[in-house]
Structure 1
Amino acid sequence: MKRLFCSIVLLAITITLFSQPKPVSIEKKGSGAPVMLLPGFGCPGAVWNEYSSGLKNYQVHQVSYAGFNQLPAIDTPWYKSLRDALIDYIKKEDLKNLHLIGHSMGGNLATEIAASLPDRVSKLVIVDALPCMREIMTPGMSASQLTYDNPYNNQMLAMDQQAMAKYVKMMADNMTLEPARSATIQEWMMQADRKTFVYGYTELLKMDLRDELKKINIPVLILGASFPDRKTTEATFQAQYVNLPDKMISISNNSKHFIMFDDAGWMNNSISQYFAK
């Protein structure tokens, strides 16, 4: 009887472990040198659909994150689980000569992957991302001061759908020049698991990858948005990426945060030229 009970418990634990939601979902298509496309916070891998449709002679790995894109949520710490899952995936798939492209938070993940797997990553494109967002968004605040349980987060968690939709619209309108694209971003963010949306952002604010940049020795392409103005953006990028040994910083002439929507031709051409080098 005791043996039967132990077997049932072991089976239950095994089923639970294997039924846990995965941190990432990855769509693989094509053949050639591998390109991994990492979306920003709140967005599905589909944010890269138009760009990836033009990628010929590449094997494309298009990533979506748990809690977004209507995928099941996972427990905190959320960001670390994404990073570790992506590193495990790259090793399992034995990806070499990997080209990483990350937008916003995806740029942070790409940075950490490149720093962790220098023998596998040959190209790194960072699209409007900062290694320490906290320095810009909450200046003077330390990482230790940012906790999951705080009045702002609790207010966000308690918002009804109408209040959340208003908040998300304000965010999205500030991130693209195109009203139709803003509506798409709003739809994606409203589909997000609320706790992932709130606590995940806290994890991003706590992050500081500036020391990790010292581990990256390949030439890196950094693309920035011109909003609010080119001079401010370039100065911020130069300061935040000072520890990156070999970098090319290029600023769009007419774009907010979602450069792949506002200035797609310029972005695509910039990446193509960098890949060709």
Structure 2
Amino acid sequence: MKFLNLITLFSAAILLINSATLHAEDTSALATVPVTVYEQIDSAKTQVPSTQTPSTQTISRNNDSSSNKPIKYDELNVLFIPGLMSNASVWSELSHELGSYYKGQYRSHFAQVAGFADNKVYPNNRLSKITAALVSYIENNNLNNVIVVGHSMGGHIAYQLALALPERVSKVVSVDGLPFITPIFTRSNKVTAAQAEPYAMSVKSQYANMNQEQLSAYTRQGIHVQTTSELNQAKVLSMASSSHPETVGQIMADLMTSDLRSAITSSNTPILFLGASGGFSDNDSKEMVKQLYTEQFANAKQAKVVMNTQSRHFIMYDDLPWLLQQTTQFIGKE
């Protein structure tokens, strides 16, 4: 198995990085938390907050005094988690549409991951630290009926939150985020996390040592598989251009060695996985991806897999109406 070659090719096609390295001695530019969550009361009327992550708190509320109201137990809480090298702005339009759909019963929570896009870098940020911080956020704010909507890496974290807080997380919507990412590289679900370990460490090292020219080349080589329009491609490139490569490499390595396929089979939390195969031009490749994705949920009876054969990785950019329809149908409405 030419595992490393597959990783290199996938890195060029998928991992969009174009970042200036943060000087380690510039501690004033560092974040003090791995992830910050912003809260909004009415997403039909408000915008996604500034993407710059405060370094002094894990919870940030809007200036509107209504944001200080106690959260009701029967209120719908949607936690949005972006993917690798993205910020909360990717959820702006979907959040707005969900806010209109659910009217007064909708409260949104936007996760901003340190080291991604224009968020400050948190030293040695890890997937486990991000997940633990989000678990604390949900528990400390006594949130119930939490719908976790995650993209790519965010989808993987959503599964972890459902496993950690089954009584609080009521549903998961994963937008092209798998329980185990490594089979994307190998094109086979037979690979294990243990087998992926040495290659994950190689990927981590690769990105930690990237220079600006290499990062820029990766960005431009892979942009076509991320989203369709030039406008949205520019958005993705903008976020990638200010991401921290060492953070990206570390969290990518964490993802490559985190296999949740077995764990989610014991979960009773309903899961909606929305896969994208529009980045592939031929039907055989689309079918291969569909099978690869479906196999990961084969023993998870509470999971539903729906593929979008036209959208690319950022489904929220390529087909918002379809994403909204799938999400609201899955969440339901009283």
In the superposition, the TM-score normalised over structure 1's length comes to: 0.86
Q: Select the residue among 207, 212, 216 that pairs with 1:165.
A: 216
2:179 to 125, 128, 131: 131
Q: Residue type matched to 1:271 in 2?
A: T
Q: How does 1:1-277 map to 2 (within 5 A)?
A: 21-30=32-41, 32-56=75-99, 57=104, 58-76=106-124, 78-138=126-186, 140=191, 142-148=195-201, 150=202, 153-227=204-278, 228=280, 229=283, 230-276=286-332
- TM-superposed CA distance for 1:219, in Å, is 2.4
- Equivalenced residue count is 258
Shift of 1:226: 2.8
Paired AA for residue 33 in structure 1: L
Alpha carbons 1:35, 1:99 under 8 Å: kept: yes
Identity %: 29
Separation of aligned partners in 2, 1:65 and 1:199 = 13
Contact 2:31 2:114 (C-alpha < 8 Å) held by counterparts:
no
Unaligned runs of 5+ in 2: 1-26, 43-74
Partner-residue secondary structure (3-state), 1:236? helix
In structure 2, the residue corresponding to 1:222 is in which secondary structure? strand
What is the TM-score when the length of structure 2 is the normalising length? 0.72
Between the aligned partners of 1:144 and 1:153, the Cα distance in structure 2 is: 11
Partner Cα separation in structure 1 for residue 310 and residue 167 of structure 2: 36
**Shift of residue 267, structure 1, vs aligned partner:** 0.7
Give the 3-state SS of the residue equivalent to 1:53 in structure 2: helix
Helix, strand or coil at the partner of 1:68: coil
Structure with greater contact order relative to length (CA < 8 Å, sep ≥ 6): 2
Taking a change above 3 Å as real, the CA distance of residues 89 and 237 of structure 1, as seen in their structure-2 partners, is same
**Contact 2:114/2:125 (8 A) holds in 1:** no
CA distance in 2, matches of 1:221, 1:156: 32
Call closer, same or farther: CA 1:77–1:188 in 2, change over 3 Å.
closer
* Deviation of 1:146 (Å): 3.4
Segment of structure 1 superposing worse, 224-233 or 108-117: 224-233
Q: CA deviation at 1:147?
A: 5.0
